[in-house]
Amino acid sequence: MPKSKPSVIVTRRLPDVVETRMRELFDARLSLDDRPMTQAELVEAVKSCEVLVPTVTDTIDAAVISQAGPQLRLIANYGNGVDNIDVQTALNRGITVTNTPGVLTEDTADMTMALILAVPRRIAEGMAVIREGEWNGWSPTWMLGHRIWGKRLGIIGMGRIGQAVARRARAFGMSIHYHNRRRLPGSVEEGLEATWWESLDQMLARMDVISIHCPHTPATYHLLSARRLKLIRPEAFVVNTARGEVIDENALARMLEAGELAGAGLDVFEHEPAVNPKLVRSKRVVLLPHMGSATIESRVDMGERVIINIKTYQDGHRPPDRVLPSML
Ligand code: 8YV
Protein backbone atom coordinates (compact mmCIF):
# COMPACT_ATOMS: atom_id res chain seq x y z
CA MET A 1 0.00 0.00 0.00
CA PRO A 2 1.42 3.43 -0.88
CA LYS A 3 2.42 5.74 1.97
CA SER A 4 -0.09 8.41 0.83
CA LYS A 5 -3.52 8.44 2.45
CA PRO A 6 -5.22 5.11 1.68
CA SER A 7 -8.75 5.13 0.32
CA VAL A 8 -11.01 3.68 2.98
CA ILE A 9 -14.71 2.87 2.66
CA VAL A 10 -16.66 2.52 5.89
CA THR A 11 -20.00 0.79 5.42
CA ARG A 12 -21.88 2.19 8.46
CA ARG A 13 -21.88 5.35 10.57
CA LEU A 14 -19.35 5.22 13.39
CA PRO A 15 -19.10 7.45 16.49
CA ASP A 16 -18.28 11.06 15.51
CA VAL A 17 -14.83 11.04 17.13
CA VAL A 18 -13.88 7.95 15.11
CA GLU A 19 -15.15 9.39 11.84
CA THR A 20 -13.32 12.68 12.46
CA ARG A 21 -10.04 10.83 13.03
CA MET A 22 -10.60 8.69 9.94
CA ARG A 23 -11.20 11.79 7.83
CA GLU A 24 -7.91 13.26 9.11
CA LEU A 25 -5.85 10.13 8.52
CA PHE A 26 -7.39 8.55 5.45
CA ASP A 27 -9.06 9.34 2.19
CA ALA A 28 -12.24 8.12 3.87
CA ARG A 29 -15.65 7.57 2.31
CA LEU A 30 -18.05 7.42 5.23
CA SER A 31 -21.65 6.29 5.41
CA LEU A 32 -24.04 9.24 5.42
CA ASP A 33 -27.30 7.39 6.02
CA ASP A 34 -26.13 4.39 8.12
CA ARG A 35 -28.08 2.08 5.81
CA PRO A 36 -26.54 -1.39 5.42
CA MET A 37 -24.93 -1.69 1.98
CA THR A 38 -26.48 -4.02 -0.58
CA GLN A 39 -24.30 -6.79 -2.03
CA ALA A 40 -24.06 -4.73 -5.26
CA GLU A 41 -22.83 -1.71 -3.27
CA LEU A 42 -20.28 -3.88 -1.47
CA VAL A 43 -19.00 -5.15 -4.81
CA GLU A 44 -18.76 -1.55 -6.00
CA ALA A 45 -16.82 -0.70 -2.81
CA VAL A 46 -14.27 -3.53 -3.10
CA LYS A 47 -13.65 -2.53 -6.73
CA SER A 48 -12.55 0.94 -5.72
CA CYS A 49 -11.10 1.14 -2.18
CA GLU A 50 -7.81 -0.04 -0.70
CA VAL A 51 -9.34 -0.68 2.71
CA LEU A 52 -12.89 -1.78 3.46
CA VAL A 53 -14.29 -1.31 6.97
CA PRO A 54 -17.38 -3.54 7.23
CA THR A 55 -19.54 -4.46 10.20
CA VAL A 56 -21.57 -7.48 11.22
CA THR A 57 -24.36 -6.34 8.86
CA ASP A 58 -22.16 -6.74 5.75
CA THR A 59 -21.70 -10.14 4.14
CA ILE A 60 -18.24 -10.12 2.59
CA ASP A 61 -18.47 -13.55 1.00
CA ALA A 62 -16.52 -15.20 -1.81
CA ALA A 63 -18.85 -13.64 -4.40
CA VAL A 64 -17.96 -10.14 -3.18
CA ILE A 65 -14.25 -10.83 -2.62
CA SER A 66 -13.83 -12.45 -6.03
CA GLN A 67 -14.88 -9.16 -7.63
CA ALA A 68 -12.44 -7.05 -5.62
CA GLY A 69 -9.98 -5.00 -7.60
CA PRO A 70 -6.24 -5.52 -7.10
CA GLN A 71 -6.11 -2.31 -5.05
CA LEU A 72 -8.06 -3.89 -2.14
CA ARG A 73 -5.42 -4.82 0.44
CA LEU A 74 -7.18 -4.84 3.79
CA ILE A 75 -10.59 -5.68 5.25
CA ALA A 76 -10.53 -4.04 8.69
CA ASN A 77 -13.68 -5.38 10.33
CA TYR A 78 -15.38 -3.11 12.88
CA GLY A 79 -16.20 -5.92 15.30
CA ASN A 80 -14.74 -8.96 16.97
CA GLY A 81 -16.61 -11.74 15.16
CA VAL A 82 -15.56 -12.22 11.51
CA ASP A 83 -18.22 -14.71 10.49
CA ASN A 84 -19.49 -12.04 8.08
CA ILE A 85 -16.22 -12.37 6.10
CA ASP A 86 -14.87 -15.27 4.05
CA VAL A 87 -11.41 -15.01 5.62
CA GLN A 88 -9.90 -17.89 3.62
CA THR A 89 -10.96 -16.47 0.25
CA ALA A 90 -9.61 -13.06 1.27
CA LEU A 91 -6.30 -14.60 2.26
CA ASN A 92 -6.10 -16.55 -1.00
CA ARG A 93 -6.29 -13.24 -2.82
CA GLY A 94 -3.63 -11.66 -0.62
CA ILE A 95 -6.12 -9.50 1.29
CA THR A 96 -5.44 -9.08 5.01
CA VAL A 97 -8.37 -9.30 7.44
CA THR A 98 -8.35 -7.70 10.90
CA ASN A 99 -10.90 -7.45 13.73
CA THR A 100 -11.27 -5.56 17.03
CA PRO A 101 -10.72 -8.02 19.89
CA GLY A 102 -10.36 -7.14 23.55
CA VAL A 103 -12.07 -3.76 23.59
CA LEU A 104 -15.65 -5.02 23.89
CA THR A 105 -15.00 -7.87 26.33
CA GLU A 106 -16.16 -6.23 29.54
CA ASP A 107 -19.28 -4.66 28.04
CA THR A 108 -20.37 -7.90 26.40
CA ALA A 109 -19.76 -9.75 29.68
CA ASP A 110 -21.87 -7.16 31.52
CA MET A 111 -24.73 -7.67 29.09
CA THR A 112 -24.43 -11.43 29.50
CA MET A 113 -24.60 -11.09 33.27
CA ALA A 114 -27.61 -8.80 32.89
CA LEU A 115 -29.39 -11.57 30.94
CA ILE A 116 -28.28 -14.27 33.41
CA LEU A 117 -30.02 -12.19 36.10
CA ALA A 118 -32.94 -10.86 34.06
CA VAL A 119 -34.41 -14.15 32.88
CA PRO A 120 -34.54 -16.19 36.14
CA ARG A 121 -35.60 -13.09 38.12
CA ARG A 122 -38.30 -12.15 35.56
CA ILE A 123 -37.15 -8.53 35.30
CA ALA A 124 -38.75 -7.81 31.92
CA GLU A 125 -42.05 -9.38 33.00
CA GLY A 126 -42.11 -7.24 36.15
CA MET A 127 -41.45 -4.09 34.17
CA ALA A 128 -44.23 -4.98 31.71
CA VAL A 129 -46.75 -5.38 34.54
CA ILE A 130 -46.05 -1.85 35.78
CA ARG A 131 -45.94 -0.32 32.32
CA GLU A 132 -49.31 -1.87 31.45
CA GLY A 133 -50.86 -0.60 34.71
CA GLU A 134 -51.60 -4.14 35.90
CA TRP A 135 -49.87 -4.13 39.28
CA ASN A 136 -52.36 -4.62 42.10
CA GLY A 137 -49.81 -4.68 44.90
CA TRP A 138 -47.34 -7.03 46.56
CA SER A 139 -48.12 -10.70 47.12
CA PRO A 140 -46.03 -13.42 48.82
CA THR A 141 -46.48 -15.91 46.01
CA TRP A 142 -46.64 -13.74 42.91
CA MET A 143 -43.88 -13.19 40.30
CA LEU A 144 -41.54 -15.72 41.84
CA GLY A 145 -38.38 -16.43 39.90
CA HIS A 146 -35.30 -18.48 40.69
CA ARG A 147 -32.20 -17.82 42.78
CA ILE A 148 -28.87 -17.36 40.98
CA TRP A 149 -26.59 -17.85 44.01
CA GLY A 150 -25.37 -21.43 44.22
CA LYS A 151 -26.40 -22.37 40.68
CA ARG A 152 -24.17 -23.96 38.03
CA LEU A 153 -23.17 -21.87 35.03
CA GLY A 154 -21.97 -23.75 31.94
CA ILE A 155 -19.92 -21.52 29.64
CA ILE A 156 -19.46 -22.66 26.05
CA GLY A 157 -16.30 -20.99 24.72
CA MET A 158 -13.88 -19.84 27.40
CA GLY A 159 -12.03 -17.09 25.56
CA ARG A 160 -11.78 -13.47 26.69
CA ILE A 161 -15.53 -12.91 26.99
CA GLY A 162 -16.27 -16.32 28.52
CA GLN A 163 -13.66 -15.67 31.20
CA ALA A 164 -14.99 -12.16 31.88
CA VAL A 165 -18.45 -13.69 32.38
CA ALA A 166 -16.97 -16.34 34.70
CA ARG A 167 -15.39 -13.63 36.90
CA ARG A 168 -18.72 -11.84 37.22
CA ALA A 169 -20.73 -15.01 37.82
CA ARG A 170 -18.36 -16.11 40.62
CA ALA A 171 -19.16 -12.86 42.42
CA PHE A 172 -22.85 -13.77 42.14
CA GLY A 173 -22.18 -17.12 43.82
CA MET A 174 -22.43 -19.34 40.74
CA SER A 175 -20.13 -22.31 40.24
CA ILE A 176 -18.26 -22.11 36.95
CA HIS A 177 -18.15 -24.93 34.41
CA TYR A 178 -16.91 -24.66 30.86
CA HIS A 179 -16.50 -26.46 27.59
CA ASN A 180 -13.78 -25.24 25.27
CA ARG A 181 -11.82 -26.79 22.43
CA ARG A 182 -8.68 -26.44 24.51
CA ARG A 183 -8.54 -26.81 28.26
CA LEU A 184 -7.32 -23.63 30.00
CA PRO A 185 -3.98 -23.69 31.85
CA GLY A 186 -4.36 -24.90 35.44
CA SER A 187 -3.50 -21.49 36.87
CA VAL A 188 -6.31 -19.82 34.88
CA GLU A 189 -8.78 -22.56 35.85
CA GLU A 190 -7.82 -22.12 39.49
CA GLY A 191 -8.17 -18.34 39.33
CA LEU A 192 -11.68 -18.69 37.92
CA GLU A 193 -12.49 -21.75 40.04
CA ALA A 194 -13.67 -23.28 36.77
CA THR A 195 -14.34 -26.94 35.97
CA TRP A 196 -13.56 -28.12 32.43
CA TRP A 197 -15.91 -30.52 30.69
CA GLU A 198 -14.41 -32.37 27.77
CA SER A 199 -17.89 -33.51 26.74
CA LEU A 200 -20.29 -30.70 25.88
CA ASP A 201 -23.21 -33.15 26.04
CA GLN A 202 -22.38 -34.13 29.60
CA MET A 203 -21.98 -30.54 30.70
CA LEU A 204 -25.29 -29.48 29.14
CA ALA A 205 -27.17 -32.15 31.09
CA ARG A 206 -25.97 -30.86 34.45
CA MET A 207 -26.12 -27.04 34.26
CA ASP A 208 -28.68 -24.53 35.56
CA VAL A 209 -27.63 -21.79 33.14
CA ILE A 210 -25.86 -22.22 29.79
CA SER A 211 -24.10 -19.20 28.27
CA ILE A 212 -22.60 -19.14 24.78
CA HIS A 213 -19.29 -17.38 24.09
CA CYS A 214 -17.76 -19.22 21.15
CA PRO A 215 -17.43 -17.66 17.69
CA HIS A 216 -19.72 -18.72 14.85
CA THR A 217 -17.69 -20.91 12.50
CA PRO A 218 -18.68 -23.91 10.34
CA ALA A 219 -17.75 -26.08 13.36
CA THR A 220 -20.03 -24.21 15.79
CA TYR A 221 -23.02 -23.72 13.48
CA HIS A 222 -26.01 -25.18 15.44
CA LEU A 223 -23.65 -26.45 18.11
CA LEU A 224 -26.76 -26.32 20.29
CA SER A 225 -28.73 -28.50 17.87
CA ALA A 226 -32.22 -29.84 18.58
CA ARG A 227 -30.59 -32.99 19.93
CA ARG A 228 -28.28 -31.11 22.30
CA LEU A 229 -30.99 -28.69 23.45
CA LYS A 230 -32.94 -31.74 24.62
CA LEU A 231 -30.04 -32.67 26.91
CA ILE A 232 -30.50 -29.43 28.88
CA ARG A 233 -32.57 -29.76 32.04
CA PRO A 234 -36.11 -28.32 31.69
CA GLU A 235 -35.42 -26.06 34.71
CA ALA A 236 -32.37 -24.50 33.02
CA PHE A 237 -31.90 -21.20 31.19
CA VAL A 238 -29.98 -20.51 27.97
CA VAL A 239 -28.18 -17.21 27.35
CA ASN A 240 -26.61 -16.17 24.05
CA THR A 241 -24.63 -12.98 23.44
CA ALA A 242 -22.31 -14.56 20.83
CA ARG A 243 -23.97 -15.41 17.54
CA GLY A 244 -27.49 -16.65 16.80
CA GLU A 245 -26.25 -19.30 14.40
CA VAL A 246 -24.68 -21.27 17.26
CA ILE A 247 -28.20 -22.31 18.40
CA ASP A 248 -30.88 -23.99 16.31
CA GLU A 249 -33.25 -21.08 16.93
CA ASN A 250 -36.36 -22.89 15.68
CA ALA A 251 -35.71 -25.82 18.00
CA LEU A 252 -35.07 -23.45 20.92
CA ALA A 253 -38.30 -21.53 20.24
CA ARG A 254 -40.30 -24.77 20.01
CA MET A 255 -38.89 -26.01 23.30
CA LEU A 256 -39.57 -22.73 25.10
CA GLU A 257 -43.13 -22.76 23.79
CA ALA A 258 -43.60 -26.34 25.00
CA GLY A 259 -42.17 -25.52 28.43
CA GLU A 260 -39.22 -27.87 27.89
CA LEU A 261 -36.77 -25.13 28.93
CA ALA A 262 -37.25 -22.58 31.72
CA GLY A 263 -36.21 -19.54 29.69
CA ALA A 264 -33.70 -17.82 27.46
CA GLY A 265 -31.87 -14.49 27.30
CA LEU A 266 -30.92 -13.71 23.72
CA ASP A 267 -28.98 -10.75 22.36
CA VAL A 268 -28.33 -12.37 18.98
CA PHE A 269 -30.47 -14.25 16.47
CA GLU A 270 -29.99 -16.64 13.62
CA HIS A 271 -31.46 -14.38 10.92
CA GLU A 272 -30.94 -10.84 12.26
CA PRO A 273 -32.81 -8.55 12.26
CA ALA A 274 -35.62 -11.13 11.98
CA VAL A 275 -36.60 -12.79 15.25
CA ASN A 276 -38.57 -16.00 15.43
CA PRO A 277 -42.22 -14.98 16.24
CA LYS A 278 -42.45 -17.79 18.80
CA LEU A 279 -39.63 -16.13 20.73
CA VAL A 280 -41.26 -12.72 20.50
CA ARG A 281 -44.50 -14.17 21.95
CA SER A 282 -42.79 -16.10 24.73
CA LYS A 283 -42.92 -14.83 28.32
CA ARG A 284 -39.96 -17.01 29.16
CA VAL A 285 -37.44 -14.89 27.25
CA VAL A 286 -35.63 -11.59 27.39
CA LEU A 287 -34.72 -10.45 23.89
CA LEU A 288 -32.26 -7.69 23.01
CA PRO A 289 -31.37 -6.32 19.57
CA HIS A 290 -27.65 -7.27 19.41
CA MET A 291 -26.54 -4.75 22.05
CA GLY A 292 -23.66 -6.60 23.72
CA SER A 293 -21.02 -4.05 22.75
CA ALA A 294 -23.41 -1.11 22.50
CA THR A 295 -21.68 1.38 24.79
CA ILE A 296 -20.09 4.56 23.52
CA GLU A 297 -16.82 3.41 25.14
CA SER A 298 -16.74 0.09 23.28
CA ARG A 299 -17.77 1.59 19.97
CA VAL A 300 -15.11 4.33 20.16
CA ASP A 301 -12.45 1.79 21.20
CA MET A 302 -13.50 -0.49 18.33
CA GLY A 303 -13.01 2.44 15.95
CA GLU A 304 -9.57 3.09 17.42
CA ARG A 305 -8.59 -0.56 16.87
CA VAL A 306 -9.72 -0.29 13.25
CA ILE A 307 -7.63 2.87 12.81
CA ILE A 308 -4.56 1.23 14.40
CA ASN A 309 -4.93 -1.79 12.14
CA ILE A 310 -5.17 0.38 9.03
CA LYS A 311 -2.28 2.65 10.07
CA THR A 312 0.00 -0.26 10.93
CA TYR A 313 -0.74 -1.96 7.65
CA GLN A 314 -0.26 1.27 5.74
CA ASP A 315 3.13 1.73 7.42
CA GLY A 316 4.22 -1.66 6.12
CA HIS A 317 3.86 -3.66 9.34
CA ARG A 318 1.72 -6.59 10.35
CA PRO A 319 -1.49 -5.18 11.88
CA PRO A 320 -1.96 -6.23 15.52
CA ASP A 321 -5.39 -7.80 15.02
CA ARG A 322 -4.75 -9.86 11.91
CA VAL A 323 -7.20 -12.78 11.60
CA LEU A 324 -6.02 -16.05 10.09
CA PRO A 325 -8.29 -18.98 9.15
CA SER A 326 -6.36 -21.17 11.62
CA MET A 327 -7.58 -18.90 14.46
CA LEU A 328 -11.24 -19.56 13.66
C1 8YV B 1 -20.56 -5.69 17.26
C2 8YV B 1 -20.23 -8.16 17.83
O3 8YV B 1 -21.49 -4.75 17.58
O4 8YV B 1 -17.95 -7.54 17.70
C5 8YV B 1 -18.78 -8.41 17.55
O6 8YV B 1 -18.48 -9.55 17.16
O7 8YV B 1 -20.99 -9.05 17.82
C8 8YV B 1 -20.82 -6.85 18.16
O9 8YV B 1 -20.52 -6.58 19.48
C10 8YV B 1 -20.65 -5.96 15.79
O11 8YV B 1 -20.01 -7.11 15.41
C12 8YV B 1 -20.07 -4.82 15.02
O13 8YV B 1 -19.77 -5.18 13.70
Which DSSP state fits 159?
A: S
Q: Is the peptide bond before 101 cis (omega within 30 degrees of 0)?
A: no
The protein residue whose alpha carbon is closest to atom 10 in ligand 1 is 79
Q: Is the CB of 293 under 6 A from ligand 1?
A: yes
Single out the residue of 175, 168, 167, 124 nearest to residue 149, CA to CA.
175
84 to each of 59, 80, 87, 120, 277, how far by Cα in Å? 5, 11, 9, 32, 24
Residue range 146-203, pLDDT digits in tens: 999 999 999 999 999 999 999 999 999 999 999 999 999 999 999 999 999 999 999 9
Map out the domains of the chain with their CATH numbers: 7-103+295-327 (3.40.50.720), 105-287 (3.40.50.720)
pLDDT for the residue numbered 38: 97
Q: Cα(293) to centroid of ligand 1, in Å? A: 7
Q: Is the CB of 276 under 6 A from ligand 1?
A: no
Q: Could you say which residues of the chain have pLDDT below 50?
A: 2
pLDDT for the residue numbered 3: 58
Instruction: State the closest ligand 1 atom to the C-alpha of 294, by its place in the atom list counted from 1.
Output: 3
C-beta separation of 162 from 213 below 8 A: yes
Q: Is the CB of 292 under 6 A from ligand 1?
A: yes
pLDDT for the residue numbered 29: 98
Q: Which residues are catalytic?
A: 243, 272, 290
pLDDT for the residue numbered 327: 83
Q: Is the CB of 306 under 6 A from ligand 1?
A: no
Q: Cα(81) to centroid of ligand 1, in Å? A: 6
Query: Can you say whether the dihedral through the CA atoms of 79, 124, 284, 203 is positive or negative?
Result: positive
Q: Cα(101) to centroid of ligand 1, in Å? A: 10
Q: Is the CB of 79 under 6 A from ligand 1?
A: yes
DSSP per residue over 187-241, as a string?
HHHHHHTEEE-S-HHHHHTT-SEEEE-S---TTTTTSB-HHHHTTS-TT-EEEE-
Residues β-bridged to residue 224: 247
Burial letters 235-248, b for 16+ CB under 10 A, else e: ebbbbbbbbbbbbb
Q: Cα(199) to centroid of ligand 1, in Å? A: 28
pLDDT for the residue numbered 109: 98
Query: Chain-wide mean pLDDT for the chain?
Result: 97
